[in-house]
Amino acid sequence: MTTQLNQLRFDNRLVRELPADPETKNYRRQVTGAVYSRVNPTPVKQPRLVAGASEVAALLDLPASVFSQAEFAQVFGGNQVLDGMEPHACCYGGHQFGNWAGQLGDGRAINLGEVRNQQGEYWTLQLKGAGPTPYSRTADGLAVLRSSVREFLCSEAMFHLGVPTTRALSLITTGEWVRRDMFYDGNPQLEPGAVVCRVAPNFTRFGNFEIFSARGEIDVLKQLADFTIRKDFAHLLDHKSSDITAEIYLRWFNEICLTTAQLMAHWMRVGFVHGVMNTDNMSILGLTIDYGPYGWLEGYDPDWTPNTTDAQGRRYRYGTQPRVALWNLAQLANALYPLINAVEPLQQALERYRIEYEHCAQRDMANKLGLSQFDPVQDQSLTENLLQVLQSAEIDMTIFYRQLAHLSLDDIHQYTDQQWVDIVRSAYYSAPDIKAEAMMANWMRSYAQRLQQDFVLNGNDNIQRRERMNAVNPKYVLRNYLAQQAIDKAAGGDNSEVEKLLQILRKPYAEQPEHEAYFAKRPEWARHKAGCSMLSCSS
């Protein structure tokens, strides 16, 4: 029988062009001299669709009706391999929490193959949670519903926020139970299993290059680098020659530095905290990849991390993300050095990261405040003072910036401190004391003066300012407590909240008055509830 899925056109370039692991049996081992190992997903009892993203299906030339076909759950739950698919898991290493961890690899991710759509775009389909691979180490290669709901929703939420990211095609429960120790306290529980189908041009990480450089397998390093450049960075090639030279490797590394800087600026703009910025969780394409214990800032706190594993050192806290990304890029530079054999140009590329990040951060802050452009002379201090004010009390970052757009410059000259604070009072988790209220009021006065100056110099007005602010300051983000509520319902067989959140998060900058209840601070009951604030890496 011909189905819509049979129309997928597979062109598996990675499998065809890069060295494979000669061992075809699926058991845990060190894999050397190979970019990938062939491995099939593990069949499951009863795959059932929880949700699908029609926009992602469209990337594959599939209609939304494909989700209702029985075969869909069988294929993307791991029970059926379509003609043209060549399932495999990739080898990579990584620095985890600052330390070299050696071989890691796709321990619970299996690439089904590359689809070429009608526009000539290539999309890799990857199942997360589809069973063990040679890289699973001591793990089972499976995923549970709670982590899979979070990955599915956040992948799509980030895309609609305008943040570069891997995508999610589908979320499917398996009918299996998976044992997980969520709190790492020696009390594992059985949880419903699930599989997410992730979609991206590639899932190549910094760690894919690190492992071969660390092992001295420079021939494989070069093969992978050349393949990556020809496939995803062809615009960097010198078309007069088929050779990839040291100069091209440098252009490539420079571009990675720039896209990574841009990604970090996006994360900081929307208040996203990844939680596990190991080098094996950094995309060579500058995409957000691997949604584990992530979170959004609620009370503004640059020292906050959503990861319980990172609670003591806080290496991956919100405020350090740009610096950690630079450190990770330095590790990638070390890995690529054998292809370039020059330190200074690599250092120059890392400096370009700093420059690009600062440029993006300043541009984003100007937009967040509704200014025509960022003036370092006066706006640097305005921004620094604001970040101090946001820490003077527990103030919700998302709500603050959204409410700040309501400020009108009409009749503000007689405002009291209380009236200034009233503009953003709904962002406070508790009433500010006199000192905190005075800090906010003083900053608001300085901000209003800066706006007035901007209006005079650039012809800006309140309407233009609000439009500029509301285009970069989201109203709806995937707060952890919202995700947890969807998870709880889905665990009971009710997928409606997953679908509802997916719909809301498709338009994060729109007012959506019918969903106003989702534009709210974290409830007090969620402050310390499991899954609603910090999370572990367990999934």
Q: Give the catalytic positions in this structure.
A: 280
SS3 sequence, 154-187? HHHHHHHHCCCECEEEEEEEEEEEEEECCCCCCC
Gyration radius (Cα) of the chain, Å: 24
Burial class (CB in 10 A: 0-12, 13-18, 19+), 343: exposed
| 206-214 helix and 218-232 helix, angle to the nearest 10 degrees | 160
Q: CA-CA distance, 538 to 529, in Å (whole number)?
A: 16
Task: Give the position of tokens 């003083």.
Answer: 442
Task: Give the position of tokens 């739950």.
Answer: 77
CB neighbour list of residue 503: distance below 8 Å, 6 or more residues apart:
none
CB neighbour list of residue 64: distance below 8 Å, 6 or more residues apart:
52, 54, 57
User: Which residues share a beta bridge with 123?
Assistant: 115
**Other CB atoms within 10 Å distance of the CB of residue 266:** 21
Q: In the structure encoding, which two tokens stand for residue 49, read together?
A: 């669709």
In what helix (H) or strand (E) does residue 383 lie, and over which residues does it extend? helix 376-390
**Other CB atoms within 10 Å distance of the CB of residue 434:** 8
Task: Give the position of tokens 């990938």.
Answer: 36
Phi, psi of 526 (to 5 degrees): -90, -5
| 128, 108 contact by CB (below 8 A) | yes
Alpha helices by DSSP H, 271-343: 321-340
Q: CA-CA distance, 130 to 147, in Å (whole number)?
A: 14
Query: Taking Cα atoms as reference points, which of 156, 130, 124, 126 lies closest to residue 143?
Result: 130
In what helix (H) or strand (E) does residue 401 lie, and over which residues does it extend? helix 397-404
| Cα end-to-end distance, the chain, whole Å | 37
Burial class (CB in 10 A: 0-12, 13-18, 19+), 101: middle
Burial class (CB in 10 A: 0-12, 13-18, 19+), 281: buried
